[in-house]
Structure formats: structure tokens, C-alpha cells
Amino acid sequence: MTEAAKEIMGVETISVVADKGYYDATDISNCEQSGTTCYVAVVDSYSHVPDKRYDKKNFRYDAANDRYICPEGIALSLVKTRRADSEIVRKEYRNAKDCKCCPNRAKCTKAKEAG
């Protein structure tokens, strides 16, 4: 996206700001090598979960089945993939049925509905 923005604006360098959902060290390095200065929050710098034991870093990725396993052992399956210019920019994993019944749900999320 930054390359397209530089082309449209007719500039060689640009500075961009993005939230932590866009933090990817490889992407940031590539941007900076091509003249883009990136200001992006580091993913682990802040978490919205009520109990840090349920932070995203404590979920295990099961690559063979493309799913995450939460600290309670519940499997979260891929439910949505967001793309931009044919590249995957975000995947969402959920298990509304099992999460709704989880006794530790309030420690994991502040959401009123179970995904």
C-alpha cells in the first residue's frame, strides 16, 4: 500500500502510522528499505484481555489444522479471511459454541457475545 501511496503522491519517501494489528517485522523492514518510515505499535505492548494468561501469545497454533488452541484447550477454527490486493491481511479464528460455555470466558474477553 505504501508503494502505491508514494506513486500517487509522486514522492520517493513517506512516513506511515498503523495500529498494532499491522505489526509484522518483515513488512516493516521491507517498507523501510524502500523509503517508508513506519510507526507501528508492537503487538505485545498492550492487551485488552482481562487476564494476561489468556493473551494471544498463550494460544497455541495448530498448523496442520490451521486453528488455534486456547489455554483452556478449546480449538478455534478459521472463520474469516480478509484480503487486500489478493494478499491475506487478517485471519479470524473463533469457536462461538464452546467459548460461550467456557467458565473462564470473562478472563479471556470483554465481548458480550461469543464471536
CB 93 within 8 A of CB 77: yes
Q: What is the pLDDT of residue 74?
A: 94
Q: What is the pLDDT of residue 46?
A: 52
Highest mean pLDDT: which of 28-37, 38-47, 54-63, 65-74?
Answer: 65-74
Q: What is the pLDDT of residue 45?
A: 46
Q: How sure is the predictor about 52, in pLDDT bands with cuts at 50, 70 and 90?
A: confident
More confident residue, 18 or 60: 60
Q: What is the pLDDT of residue 47?
A: 61
Query: Does pLDDT of 72 surpass 90?
Result: yes
CB under 8 Å, gap of 24 or more: what pairs does 91-95 form? Answer: 93/67, 93/68
Query: Does pLDDT of 112 surpass 90?
Result: no
Q: Is the pTM of this model over 0.75?
A: no
Degrees to nearest 5, angle at CA 112 with 109 and 115: 75
